[in-house]
Structure 1
Amino acid sequence: MEKFEQYGRVFNHFDSDGDGRISPKELRQCVASIGGDMAAAEAEAAVAVADSDGDGLLSLDDFVRIVEGAGEEEKQSDLKAAFKLYAPEGSSCITAESLKKMLNRLGQRRSVHDCKNMIAPFDLNGDGVLNFDEFKIMMSC
């Protein structure tokens, strides 16, 4: 089954009145059905942020953007946590030395030279270290 079709089935389940839109009230019911709790004001705010046509309701496209966006937020959070493991304490970049140290902890013996070579293809600004954006690119390969 295609992903968009799956989203449509979930969307239709939560669209309790069958009007092709999810209202803030229906969104609250949706969250409650999976064991969560959402205040009316939170539901209104969530719909307002995602509502692309300004009608105060979520279309299927709006719903898909929310669902896929939630996955992206989780990926981003996981990448930030991984980045912190490799970056020296209090630093905003991964150095060849910090990469070597983490790889050694993971049982992969590498020299600083090896680590510089690992960093180089993803070091877009040529400063010899990886910032978070460069790290994201490296991790996507």
Structure 2
Amino acid sequence: MVVAASSPLGELGSLFAAFDKDADGRISAAELRLCMRAALGEGVTAEDAEALVASVDADGDGLLDEGEFARLVRAEAEGEERRRGLEAAFRMYAVEGEGRITPASLKRMLSRLGARREVDDCRAMIRRFDLDGDGVLSFHEFEIMMSS
């Protein structure tokens, strides 16, 4: 099946057609990888491209049809939106200009939200997700904490 730009998915159909380099109606992990590098400037490993395909490959053929591709694009957009929200929340808690959440900055933000905590309580909260043991939370650690 060749997907035309007049696809029921509109712009996604056009994007699908652009990614479907051999016009067979399916996008392989290799095609996905090639197009992501060209269109987005993002180098994606073969393993990551295969994992992306597998994450939405409903029929298990190792290829994306138009519907599966649409699900992948939507999932990626939702993930990006979630990440932007987490970044905004992180900035609220983080020490300004330092890009990290300290026990004092956590205490200050919790206090603004009406939750009174002592610095030692905040230190204990941070310790639970402080993967590198530096006593503060980086964005990566905050992201993990918010996913728990």
Q: How does 1:1-141 map to 2 (within 5 A)?
A: 19=1, 22-26=3-7, 30=10, 44=15, 47-48=18-19, 52-53=27-28, 54=31, 59-141=66-148
Deviation string 1:64-105 (CA, Å, 9 cap, x unpaired) is 110111111110010000000000111211000100010111
Unaligned runs of 5+ in 2: 21-25, 36-63
The SS at the match of 2:10 is helix
CA contact (8 A) 1:24 1:47 kept: no
TM-score w.r.t. structure 2 length? 0.62
Q: Closer, same or farther in 2 for the Cα pair 1:81/1:47, shift >3 Å?
A: farther
Instruction: Output the amino acid matched with 2:102.
Output: T
The SS at the match of 2:128 is helix
TM-score w.r.t. structure 1 length? 0.65
Shift of 1:30: 2.7
CA contact (8 A) 2:129 2:142 kept: yes
How many positions carry a matched residue from both structures? 110
Structure 2: distance between partners of 1:89 and 1:46: 45
Bigger helix fraction: 1
Shift of 1:137: 0.9
CA contact (8 A) 1:85 1:102 kept: yes
The SS at the match of 1:122 is coil
Percent identity, aligned pairs only, is 41
Structure 2: distance between partners of 1:83 and 1:46: 38
Q: Closer, same or farther in 2 for the Cα pair 1:74/1:22, shift >3 Å?
A: farther
Instruction: Output the amino acid matched with 1:129.
Output: V
Structure 2: distance between partners of 1:46 and 1:98: 48
Instruction: Output the amino acid matched with 1:26.
Output: S
CA contact (8 A) 2:4 2:17 kept: no
CA contact (8 A) 1:92 1:132 kept: yes
Q: In angstroms, what is the RMSD of aligned CA positions? A: 3.1
